């Protein structure tokens, strides 16, 4: 089909773009997905991580985040802090730019729970997804990628 695009995630709108389908085809597709058994660990991707996450288990530093908003534009926020993140699903890692340097954490996504370990954490923590992602305010920039900042 000329001029038609397959289903895809739009980073601009933050929504799925679905080509026009006949309603029965969409219902069959949705029902087919419901019958799939859930795997213990989900595929790591920006859309899967996007949302509001709250600390459920584990300890963070006294000034560490207890609630984190992760967005598909590679930004994450807690309190007044906004950081950049980069995902390496093949290695099961997420990198977070803190103070102009990358901090690397091991990451596992299991349903609505996100496990993080390593980096500056002394023990594994578990975050629970409690809501959808909200847009980053236009006046809050995504911090620069530390790999693109020239040495001083």
Q: What is the CATH number of the domain that holds 106?
A: 2.40.128.490
Determine the pLDDT at residue 40. 46
Domain count, the chain: 1
Please check whether residue 89 lies inside any domain of the structure.
yes
**Residue 100 in this model has a pLDDT that exceeds 60:** yes
Please check whether residue 146 lies inside any domain of the structure.
Answer: no
Residue 10 located in a structural domain = no
In a domain? residue 100: yes
- Print the domain residue range for 116: 46-135
Question: In terms of pLDDT, which residue wins out, 104 or 29?
Answer: 104
Mean pLDDT (whole number) for 102-120? 93
Q: Is residue 30 assigned to a domain?
A: no
Give domain status of residue 20, yes or no: no
Does residue 36 belong to any structural domain of this protein?
no
Q: Report yes or no: 86 and 18 within 8 Å, Cβ to Cβ.
A: no
The pLDDT tens digits of the residues spanning 119-151 come to 988 899 999 999 999 999 999 988 888 888 776
| The model's pTM | 0.68
Q: How far apart are CA 81 and CA 78, in angstroms?
A: 5
Handedness of CA 17, 20, 26, 29 (dihedral sign): negative
Is 60 within 8 Å of 122 (Cβ atoms)?
no
pLDDT in tens, 30-76: 434 333 344 445 677 888 899 999 999 987 777 678 899 999 999 99
The predicted structure's pLDDT at residue 118? 93
On whether residue 98 sits in a domain, the answer given is: yes
Report residue 7: phi and psi, to 5°. Answer: -60, 135
CB 104 within 8 A of CB 146: no
Q: What is the pLDDT of residue 80?
A: 87
- Residue 79, phi then psi, degrees to nearest 5: 55, -130
Return the pLDDT at 44.
75
């Amino acid at each position: 089909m000329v001029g038609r695009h397959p289903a895809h995630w739009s980073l601009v709108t933050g929504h799925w773009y679905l080509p026009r389908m006949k309603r029965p085809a969409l219902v069959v597709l949705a029902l087919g997905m419901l019958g799939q058994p859930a795997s213990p660990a989900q595929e790591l991707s920006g859309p899967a991580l996007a949302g509001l996450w709250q600390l459920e288990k584990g300890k963070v530093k006294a000034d560490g985040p207890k609630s984190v908003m992760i967005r598909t534009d590679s930004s994450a926020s807690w309190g007044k802090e906004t950081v950049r993140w980069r995902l390496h699903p093949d290695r099961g890692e997420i990198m977070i730019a803190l103070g102009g340097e990358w901090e690397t954490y091991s990451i596992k996504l299991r349903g609505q729970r996100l496990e993080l370990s390593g980096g500056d954490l002394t023990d594994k923590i578990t975050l629970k997804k409690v809501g959808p992602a909200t847009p980053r305010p236009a006046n809050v920039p995504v911090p620069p990628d530390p790999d693109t900042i020239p040495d001083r």
